[in-house]
Amino acid sequence: MPPTISTPTPGDLRRHLSKLRELRGPASLARTPARLLELKRWQQARLTTTYADLAAKPRYAEATQFFLDDLYGPKDFSGRDEAMLRIYPTMVKLLPATAVQTAALAIEVDALSEVLDRRLAAALGAGPIDEASYAKAYRESATPAERERQVALVEEVGHRLDRLVKKPMVLHTIKLMRGPAKLAGLSDLQRFLERGFAAFKAMGGAEEFLATIAGRERRIASRLFSSAPEPFSP
């Protein structure tokens, strides 16, 4: 059974942002270790292959790109995290509670993924990353429950985003923040938010998209933990 994802509080958002800052360092000093960056690039290449069919569908192309680049890519997100910490009081004050809750869950996904990636990178032996070395390090660095929570959080964030884009006032509020965001040096965060909303709005319903991602990631995790051959096959 998938874990129950409880409704987060505004304090959870600040806590997860602080965790990411602790892991990555402040934006001015953050630097992704070489082995971790190599792992993130390998994983992004795997995801690109796994979801090539979704990317090829016009309905899902934008959302797939957002998923690969903005939610789980090798980018340095420390600037975005720092920006969210800086405008945290404004976000909580201006945005609807449902939007703040969605942001808290999205940042929790990021924080959990960062922890698991760092463990996995540490568990990798020397040499190039391939399916065998990745699978071994995957089993050694996390539990099935942690990986299931990672998938469940992604799924929950997607469903919440899908509901939010149907509320015109939320998108209107985010667009109103363009000017203040630019003046405050928060343009990267503003673009991230707008890309996410645009990607999910363009789908006109995310049920199939999210079910495909969650289903495949659960099957892949099960194969990796059971040492099955060809763990990344659809």
Q: pLDDT, tens digit, for every residue of 4-55?
A: 888 888 889 889 888 988 888 776 556 788 899 999 999 999 999 999 999 9
DSSP assignment of 108-157, as one string?
A: HHHHHHHHHHHHHHHH--SS---HHHHHHHHHHH--HHHHHHHHHHHHHH
Those residues with Cβ within 8 angstroms of residue 175's Cβ, 6 or more apart along the chain or in another chain: 194
With cut-offs at 50, 70 and 90, classify the pLDDT of residue 113: very high
The predicted-structure confidence for 70-85, as pLDDT tens digits, reads as follows: 777 777 777 777 777 8
Mean pLDDT over 184-190 rounds to 63
| pLDDT exceeds cutoff 90 at 91 | no
Report the range of poorest mean pLDDT among 7-21, 50-64, 213-227: 7-21
Per cent of the chain over pLDDT 90 is: 42
pLDDT value of position 89: 82
Q: Report the alpha-carbon distance of residue 145 to residue 147 in Å, rounded.
A: 5
Q: Torsion angle of alpha carbons 232, 158, 145, 233, nearest 10°? A: -10
Token readout for 234 is 């659809």
